[in-house]
Each structure stands twice: as structure tokens, then as C-alpha cells.
Chain A
């Protein structure tokens, strides 16, 4: 499985070369955990539930949890062998645990966890100590609070305080019913004309957080930025594995029947309403009846693949076909050898060597911009060993990766690892000699693990929101909850959207019970 890197080491020390481990077996990513199973993973599943939830991303499980808690019978089906969707982690030889999407989320996640999960989960959410920006236009540390961002815009960028406060105020006032067609880029031009550096500061973190760019409707920026830019960036102490352990315990407590390694093949419809699903779990395929189905699979997959399109109006199918998906991601996971340590650098580093900001270049293949998340022992205090890992992330386009043959694919992953290590070396000199594990993931990996078309990391563009929210009006009993419309994505957006849609499911079930009684 291991291939040695041929690229020259900047410190010329051959012996300190970290081992480059990339999965070679399959050009579409590792098949680990996906081999056809002889076991029946549907054993003991009942014939009928109030609700079947397809997919265990944060939207799916949060919806399942509150529906279960309010007394509904809920079956949650996940095709992967782990619950969590993109909120996931993996272990690698050498005792490494890598978090995939635990880079940071807004303060609102604390309240969401308290209300829809448990106080114990909420209590583990803490603020990152430091966020750092470094690029040819500006370099500084920030707490990522509104006060500090305002100060930075005044002191580092020389803007008038009133102009900055006016901008933040304007963002907070933007709401969903805002019907202006302004794009985020136009909004920036209006408030900070010609200030490419300011646009960079305002856009880059949000682009990494939800895959958006300057061409999206300004309203999506206003909502997401206002959420983030309030009280800093937060993380979960105990790692993604710790969070999901606690969430699984809650699901069990609330009576949710959850199954992994179960693929939902089809959503069934009769007399114009949803009647259940057909699912395959290892050796067994079965039809399961449900009064309502909530899909956490990608919106387009849900409507165009899981349901027979003849159940929808042709205009609706056309509308859904035209929805654009968000971009995907690349990551490089770097593990520090057991026993080694690194000094505290920062928690989250937004870095680029690109002279000027250009929104779309954030997704370039072998681009110059990336984020580094540094994980220190403070993030997993329960672990006996003091361990450190670093995860680099970039936005990425599926098209850039999809047609590579196996050799090109491996070479490009290798190059990505090399570029990332070289970039990291500028912040943590000598880091290569401490790293003993490196692995890259690409849009193909994300597609493979989540089954999201084109490996979409953050759902759909804005136009996906309405069809997702109104799906049950097109087909009674069918609901969608999952990253969609840019604003409903990220851990907080997905979890809250799960609640919003669970409320609709609950109302639907209530209505049905009432009409049946009458």
C-alpha cells in the first residue's frame, strides 16, 4: 500500500521523509468497508415505521433524534459502516485518528446540541484559541469575533469603523425574503470598492466553510457570515468519534432503530404518497413501510434516483435537474509520530501564497490556497497518549479529478501531499521529520463515501433550497434534510435543517392521524 515519495525534501534529509500512504487499490477511492457482505444488516428490522430516515449525516440523525424523542417510531438507514456522514473520522496505523470536518463551527452549535441532543454534548463545545490568516496581502491572528474582526478591518486594513459596522449591520438585516439579485461580489464592491484584500478576508473563510464564491446571492453570505462572525469559532472536545459516540447513545435512548451498511435503493410511492423504502443490508433486501420518509441523501439523488420521476410533475423534475451542486474538497491528513510533539502554532490557519484574491482559484487543482487545522492533545483529553495531527483542506472540483487514470490519480495525490508538506514546513520548520503518516483524499473519495454526486461537500447552490423545503408538497410524505442552498450546510446548518424538516414530518404525521380519525 505504501509508495515512497520521489520529490526532493526541502531539508535534504532522506531519512526524515514521511511515509506516503495513498490507497492504490481502486482509482475511485478505497473499497474498505464496502465489500459485499454475507451478513444480514437488516436483521430484526420491523415491517413498518412512522418514519424512515435515509442517511446519517448531521441533518439525518438530528431529525431522527427529535422524532424518536417525541415518540415516533423511527428507522435510520446508513449505507456506510459509520454513523455521521461527513461528520466523520478515521483511524490509521501508528495510532492516528483524523477528523474530517471538525475544523470549526459557529457558537450556535452549542445551543443546537443542548436543545436537540443533550447538555453533555453541548458542554463539550469550546472556542478555538486562535485563528490565523497568512497571505501576501495580510497576516494576523484573530479570535474571529465580531469585535476583533472590526478592529482588524480598522487597524490592519485602514477602514473607517462606521463603514465596517455599517456592513455588519447590513448583513444581519438581510433575511430570507430579501429579493434583491445582488451577488456577494457586488455587495463587497458596494461597501468596500476595489479592496481585493478586504474581499479576501471576508470571503475566504466562508468559501472554505460552505463552498460558496463571490457569484452566489448576497443573502447566502449575509446569513452564514452573521452566524459565524459573532462569538468566534468553536470545536468539540473529544473528537468527532467522541461526539458520535454520545450521539449514538442518545439515539438509542430515544428509541431510534439505526442501522449501518444498509443501502436504500428506492423510495416507494402509491396513490400519490410515499409508502416506504426498499433497502439492502448485506445479504438481504427488504421493503419497509413508512408513513413518511426523510432523505438525507443529496437532494438530486433523492428526487431523480431514489424516486421514480413519473411521480413528480415534469416541470419539477426539470427544475431539480437544473440545480447546481456545490464543489468538493481535497484533504491531506498528516500524523505526528507517537512520542513527538509540536509547539502550539494556531488552531486554524487560512493560508495562501497567491498574490491577490480570486474567488474561483480556491478550488484549483494544485492551487496556492489551503487551510490547516492543527489538532493538539487538548482536543482529545481522554486519550492516554499525547497525540498531534494536522489536516489540510482545499476546495476542489470533481471535474479536475474524475477523468484521471489510476496512475495520474496517484501522482496527483502524491503531488498534493508534497505541496502541502512544503507549505506546512514554512510554518512548522522540521515538521517532516515528525510526521510518520500522510494520506490524501479527493473529490472521488468524498463521492465514494457519501454517494453525493460529484463528491459535493456542501450540497447544492441556492436554488436547491426551495425544492428541498417544499418537497412534501410535490410528493406527500417525502421530505429532504441535508446540506442544501448554501445556508443549510456545515454542522450547524445541517443539524438545524434536520430540525426544521423534522417539524414538517411531525406536522404531516399529526395531520394524517387526525384525518384518519375523522
Chain B
């Protein structure tokens, strides 16, 4: 996955968790929480989906790395380098 694909992957997961949110206009550098309604349970769902879809484990102490799309790409990029994007699963 490229950086852009990591962001796509995250957006695709968020879409299943928060189907009513508008994701196209998200600012990649801003905290997700400040732009759309995501609570701590939603972040847990993102973690579970990442594990299920891409076999990537995000330990609790790293949950904060998922704050914005940019930080997601920074943190997950290296872990997902050799993993293929799956959208709409």
C-alpha cells in the first residue's frame, strides 16, 4: 500500500463505522475527532477492522497514532507496505 492507499483504507473503514458522515472533505492533518463524530468505541472498531482486514495489530498504547489521517499514514504506512488494499469488504 502507498501512503494514499493507507488513507483510503482508513476512510473505507470509517465509512462502515460512521455511514452518515461526509468523508470526502476531510482535512488529512486535522484530528478526525474534530471533524466527524467519532468516539473512543469507534476508534476501537478501526483497530479491530485493521486487524481483521490487514492483519495489522495496533497495541493500546499506540491508539493515539490514529488521531488524524496523516498520523495514520505515518504510523501504518511501514506496517502495511507489503499489504494490499481491500476496499468495500
Interface residues of A (CB under 8 A from B): 66, 70-71, 111-112, 115, 496, 499-500, 503, 506-507, 510-511
Contact = CB atoms under 8 A, between A and B. Distances in A.
B52 interface: yes
Nearest to B19: A114
Nearest to B37: A111
Given A70-B52, A510-B57, 11 more contacts: A115-B17, A115-B41, A496-B41, A500-B41, A503-B48, A506-B48, A506-B52, A507-B57, A510-B51, A510-B55, A511-B57
B89 to A, nearest CB: 12
Contacts of A111: 41
Nearest to B16: A115
Nearest to A507: B57
A506 B51 contact: yes
A507 B51 contact: yes
B45 interface: yes
A506 B48 CA distance: 8
Contacts of B55: 510
Contact of A70 (B44, B48, B57): B48
A41 B62 CA distance: 44
B41 A112 contact: yes
22 contacts: A66-B48, A70-B52, A71-B52, A111-B41, A112-B41, A115-B17, A115-B41, A115-B45, A496-B41, A499-B41, A499-B44, A500-B44, A503-B47, A506-B48, A506-B51, A506-B52, A507-B51, A507-B57, A510-B51, A510-B55, A510-B57, A511-B57
A379 to B, nearest CB: 27
Interface of B: 17, 41, 44-45, 47-48, 51-52, 55, 57
Q: Is the interface of A mostly helix, strand, loop or mixed?
A: helix
A71 B44 CA distance: 18
A503 B44 contact: yes
Contacts of B17: 115
A495 to B, nearest CB: 10
A510 B48 CA distance: 11
Contacts of A66: 48
Nearest to B44: A503
A500 B42 CA distance: 11
Nearest to A511: B57
Contacts of B51: 506-507, 510
Contacts of A71: 52
Q: What 6 A-B pairs come out closest when comparing CB atoms?
A: A70-B52, A503-B48, A503-B44, A510-B51, A496-B41, A510-B57
A201 B51 CA distance: 44
Contacts of B52: 70-71, 506
Residue with the highest number of chain A CB atoms closer than 10 Å, among B41, B44, B47, B48: B41
Contacts of A510: 51, 55, 57
A510 B55 CA distance: 8
Nearest to A513: B55
A237 to B, nearest CB: 21
A46 to B, nearest CB: 23
Contacts of B47: 503
A58 to B, nearest CB: 14
A70 B17 CA distance: 15
A500 B41 CA distance: 8
A117 B51 CA distance: 20
Contacts of B48: 66, 70, 503, 506
B58 to A, nearest CB: 9
A368 B85 CA distance: 62
B63 to A, nearest CB: 11
Contacts of B44: 499-500, 503
A503 B44 CA distance: 8
A111 B38 CA distance: 11
B65 to A, nearest CB: 16
A375 to B, nearest CB: 30
Nearest to A114: B19
Contacts of A503: 44, 47-48
Nearest to B49: A70
Nearest to A175: B40
B85 to A, nearest CB: 19
B80 to A, nearest CB: 16
Nearest to B59: A507
A66 B52 CA distance: 12
A491 B52 CA distance: 27
A290 B8 CA distance: 36
A507 B57 CA distance: 7
A106 to B, nearest CB: 12
Nearest to A70: B52
Contacts of B41: 111-112, 115, 496, 499-500
A115 B17 CA distance: 7
A124 to B, nearest CB: 18
A500 B40 CA distance: 10
B40 to A, nearest CB: 9
B88 to A, nearest CB: 17
A29 to B, nearest CB: 36
A45 to B, nearest CB: 26
A68 B57 CA distance: 19
A104 to B, nearest CB: 20
A69 to B, nearest CB: 10
A511 B45 CA distance: 18
Contacts of A511: 57
Nearest to B41: A496
Nearest to A176: B40
A499 B41 CA distance: 8
